[in-house]
Amino acid sequence: MKRFVATFAALALSAGAAMADPVLGTWKTQPGDDGNYALVTISKCGSQICGVLGKGFNSSGDTIDSPNIGRKMIWDMNADGGGSYSGGKIWAPDRDKTYNSKMALSGNTLKVSGCVLGICRSQTWKRQ
């Protein structure tokens, strides 16, 4: 019985690790229209993916103080498999606009794109 419990516990722990989504973690954005960039922490929010704006930096790399730190930047994103994500929203701090968004993960880069009223933009983020 002890062996069964130990085996079951080991399988449960390894399944949890295997189910961790590869997009989870901290990502460095490209500079926006204002030259500022940020670190975004992507995590699970229930069955979906979300991201929160962390530290912000100006074009010189100096930390900036912003009331947007801690604000949700990505929400309602669905993992489609194969590094593709869709159905979510992304808020762009440099334009204060929310876009319908999708993401594509390739190794340590994440292409984030979004459109609103036919106007689209994209960035490639780097894993930190």
The 10s digit of each residue's pLDDT in 84-126 is: 999 999 999 999 999 999 999 999 999 999 999 999 999 999 9
CB-count exposure of residue 88 (10 Å: 0-12, 13-18, 19+): buried
List, in order of start, the domains of the chain with CATH numbers. 22-127 (2.40.128.520)
DSSP characters for 31-95? Answer: P-TTS-EEEEEEEEETTEEEEEEEEEE-TTS-EE--TTTT-EEEEEEEEEETTEEEEEEEEETTT
Model pTM score: 0.82
Q: Quick one: which H or E segment has residue 7?
A: helix 2-18
Give the three-state DSSP class for 108. coil
Give the pLDDT confidence score for residue 4 in this predicted structure.
39
The 10s digit of each residue's pLDDT in 11-68 is: 343 333 345 799 999 999 999 999 999 999 999 999 999 999 999 999 999 999 989 9
